[in-house]
Every structure is written in C-alpha cells, then in structure tokens.
Copies of this chain bind each other. A is one copy, B any other.
Amino acid sequence: MQSRKIRMLTETVDSLLQRGARTNLQKLLSKSHAADLSIVFRSLSGSETRATFALIDDVEKKAEVISHLDSELQGRLLPTIEMDELVAIFSEMSNDVAADAMGLLPEELASELLSRMARTDSLQVEDLMEYDPDTAGGIMSPEFVSLSEDTTVQKAAEVLRASDDVAMAFYVYVTNEFEQLCGVISLRQLVTSAADRSLKELMETNVMRVRWDTDQEDVARLVARYNFLAIPVVDDGNKLIGIVTVDDVIDVIREEATEDILKMAGAGQDLEELRSVPSRVASRIRPLGYLFLSGAIAVPLLHGFRDMFNSNLALIYFIPLLLGLGSTAAIQATTYMSRGWTMGVIRSRWVRRQIRRELYTSAVLGVAYGLGCGLLAVLISGWALGLVVASAVGLGMVVSTLIGAALPLFFVRFKIDPSLATHPMVRMLSMVAVLIVYLLVSSTLLWCRLGG
C-alpha cells in the first residue's frame, strides 16, 4: 500500500520533470512529506535531483529532505548547493545530522561552512565530528533536556516548553553539580505529578547508560531489549553528553541487517558504497577468491585420480550434484548457527546440542539425497556406481553440514570477524571436503570391487 503511494509520487515527479511543469512540481513537493521525497530522490538522476531539490521552496523542508537521504546521495547533492543556501540548510538541521553530513563534504567546503554557521552550532558540530560514526557518540544527539536534582516539576515543565528545538524529549535527565548523570524522569511522570515536587523525589536513579565509544550495534541491542525510547550517552567521567533516540536505533538495526545479508553473500558491506562498477568489483573479488582457491585445489586433486576417471568416466557426471548439495547443506547449517548466535547467548551445552541436531538433520538429508543420487547413478551405469555415488553424496552432506555448523563457532572462539564473506568461505571449505570424500569413497569402493 505504502510502496504504491511512493511509486505514484515517483512517477508524478518524473512526468512533471519531463514536461518541465515547474509550478505543478513545486506544489507537489510542498505537499509531500520530506521522508517520501527522500525515497523519490533515490531513483532520480543527478541532474534531476538537483533540479527537483531546487524547487523545494522552504529551507526547513530542504533540511529535512537532506536528513532523510542516505549518505551517498547527500554526498552527491550537497556540494552542488550554493554556500549561502548551504549555511541556511545546515542551520536548520539538528546538529548530529549536520555533523554526519559535514563529514561527506570536501574539507575546504566543510570548513567554510563551519566558519559561517552560528558559533554554538559549529562548535557542537565540530565536537560531534570527532566520534567514530559507528559508536554511541557517532549516532547520539547532543540535544536533550537535563536539569538539576532540586528542580520542581513545575519548573521542569516550563523548561520543556521553552526548549522546542529538542526533537524527541520523552525523558528529562537529572544531573548533579558536576553534570554527571544521576537520574531520569519520564515526561509522562512529569505530566502526572504534583507541580511542587522536586525531581530528586521522583527520579529513577538506576539509569541504564552507554559510554561514548560503545558500538552502535550494542546500543541498538540495549534499546531493543529494554524497550527504551532513548538511552543517555556519557563520557569517561560519567558526564551526560548526548542521547541516542529510538528512531536512530531503528536506522542502525536496518543498516546492520543489510550489512549482514550483503556480507554473508560476499557481496560487499554497504549498499550505498556499492553503486559504482569499481566498488562492486572491489567488494566481490575477494569472496570469489575463496571459490577460486577451492577450485584450484580441486584441479590437482582430480588430476591425481585421472586413472580412476579414465576407467569410470561416469564418476564425473555426479560432481555437480555432489558440490551443489554439499555446499547448500553447509550454508544452511552456517546460517542457522550464526543467526542463533546473534539472537542470544551461547553456552557450550547449547553448542553441543545444536551440533548433535545438525548431525542428525544432515544424516536424514544425506540418506534421502544420497539415495536419490544413487538411483540416478544406477540408471546411468549400474549398481556399482550407484553405491559409490549414494555413499559419497550422503557422507559428503554430513561432513559439509558439520563444517558449516562449526565455522561460526571458530569465528567466535578465535575472535575472527565473521564478516569475511561467510557463504563463499563455507562453500570453499565444503567443496574441498566433499571432493575429498568423493575421491576417497569412490577409489576405496572401486578398489574393493577389483579386489573382490
């Protein structure tokens, strides 16, 4: 339903652009939500984006649209805007968004922009630019409401009323004389409490917080687990320096999900950075390397058994079956195990139970598909080959599954970043393993037959 709405908006913008219907386009833009426009912008070309953006008549709306754009589009659009307008737009943005966007600009442009922004804003933006973008500091907003312990409810409400630049104030944070975080009170509690009580009486003192250098994924996990709307960020001395709000957490979770999917498939890490051909090539060449490596190992392996193949050519017909089933089984196990890992805590007992179940699962599947492949082999060249293929495929699937299930555990045990293109690596290992299984099983069985 919603995607239809966006598609219609995109098509209308497109056709108005083609027809050069500026006034109508302008009207449409002013009626549309900034978040929707940012999605439309994704499917416009560079010049169309510039033309459309220029027609948005309100600086605040422009700032909002920019905030919703992904960084690649921001990086392309921002340098094309004139300095005066850029200053106006950046002044409308919240400072954490401004800091992120500023990081995408050429250095000269950024420093000129900073020098022309209001002093308080530019100082804060510069501060924020210091943090690693993947940490609490990098995603936090420096705009929050903090008050001292002896503030009354009435006074707190007045402060809130005055601070309308704080976009999402659900909690009022209470700090002591050293600006250290010592309590929190929800907006709701504030509404429902007597006007003359002090924050100290009402506040919750056990406040969950994160340090500025906490990884953004950990921040997201905390907020998700405890159903927070925001979590305060403190510096090394427990001084409150910002808050991470739930909407930023949602962005982190979505971003990380895409990253996980791309990484697993060996297709890169970041959708935005992968637009150009050179970056696609760069992100894919290494994962392909794993398959090249295993394929290259297979060459001398198969070459070593050339006499066997020469006298039993039908053995080669089943290599694609063997590789396909083996590597798929391995990937299924790896995906299941590593996802189970992400979702919870792993104890050795859990691991043993999982490995055991994977073993049984692969045994059942190995018997089923082993028999299927064996039957094919019987049809092609008789019972002997049928036996070889059935045993090799069955055993190969079990070995592959166990390799796939164990790999995530090795990653964790040896603190290896599991981002190393899991699927291609699993396929590499399982390919080599099933080929060795196949060669050993077939040569052994054929030798027994010759012997018997």
Name A's B-contacting residues (CB within 8 A).
Answer: 1-3, 6-7, 10-11, 14, 33, 35-36, 39-40, 42-43, 45, 68, 157, 160-161, 164, 168-170, 187-188, 190-192, 214, 218, 221-227, 229, 246-247, 249-251, 253-254, 257-258, 260-262, 264-268, 271, 274-277, 280-281, 284-285, 287-288, 290-292, 294-296, 298-299, 302-303, 306, 309-310, 313-314, 316-325, 327-329, 331-336, 339-340, 342-347, 349-350, 357-358, 360-361, 364-365, 368-369, 372-373, 376, 380, 423-424, 427-428, 431, 435
Write out the residue numbers on chain B whose beta carbons fall within 8 Å of the beta carbon of A35: 225-227
Within the assembled complex, what's the spacing in Å between the Cα atoms of A48 and B368? 36
Within the assembled complex, what's the spacing in Å between the Cα atoms of A314 and B327? 23
Write out the residue numbers on chain B whose beta carbons fall within 8 Å of the beta carbon of A281: 361, 364-365
User: In whole Å, how far is A25's beta carbon from the nearest beta carbon of chain B?
Assistant: 17
Within the assembled complex, what's the spacing in Å between the Cα atoms of A23 and B188? 37
User: In whole Å, how far is A94's beta carbon from the nearest beta carbon of chain B?
Assistant: 12
Task: Across the interface, name the chain B residue whose C-beta is closest to A277.
Answer: B360
Write out the residue numbers on chain B whose beta carbons fall within 8 Å of the beta carbon of A33: 226
Write out the residue numbers on chain B whose beta carbons fall within 8 Å of the beta carbon of A358: 280
CB atoms of B157 and A192 under 8 A apart:
yes
CB atoms of A369 and B321 under 8 A apart:
no
Chain A binding surface, main DSSP class: helix
User: In whole Å, how far is A260's beta carbon from the nearest beta carbon of chain B?
Assistant: 6
CB atoms of A316 and B302 under 8 A apart:
yes
Name the contact of A364 in the complex, choosing from B1, B192, B277 (C-beta under 8 A). B277
Q: A295-B321, A324-B427 are in contact. List 14 more A-B contacts (CB 8 A).
A: A10-B345, A43-B344, A43-B347, A227-B247, A257-B260, A260-B261, A271-B336, A277-B361, A284-B329, A284-B365, A285-B365, A288-B325, A292-B324, A295-B318
CB atoms of A39 and B191 under 8 A apart:
no
Q: A277-B364, A361-B284 are in contact. Are A292 and B321 (CB under 8 A)?
A: yes
User: In whole Å, how far is A129's beta carbon from the nearest beta carbon of chain B?
Assistant: 23
Within the assembled complex, what's the spacing in Å between the Cα atoms of A18 and B284? 49
Q: A246-B246, A285-B368, A365-B285 are in contact. Are A266 and B10 (CB under 8 A)?
A: no
CB atoms of B332 and A266 under 8 A apart:
yes
CB atoms of B246 and A224 under 8 A apart:
no
What are 29 A-B contacts defined by CB distance under 8 Å? A2-B222, A7-B345, A43-B346, A157-B191, A160-B192, A161-B192, A229-B246, A253-B257, A261-B339, A262-B339, A264-B264, A264-B265, A265-B335, A267-B332, A271-B336, A271-B339, A274-B336, A284-B329, A285-B365, A287-B328, A295-B318, A295-B324, A296-B376, A310-B310, A316-B316, A323-B324, A324-B427, A331-B423, A423-B423
Within the assembled complex, what's the spacing in Å between the Cα atoms of A218 and B1? 8
Task: Across the interface, name the chain B residue whose C-beta is closest to A219.
Answer: B2
CB atoms of A323 and B325 under 8 A apart:
no
Within the assembled complex, what's the spacing in Å between the Cα atoms of A262 and B333? 10
Instruction: Specify which of A324, A365, A435 lies most central, judged by the most chain B CB atoms within 10 Å of its CB.
Output: A324
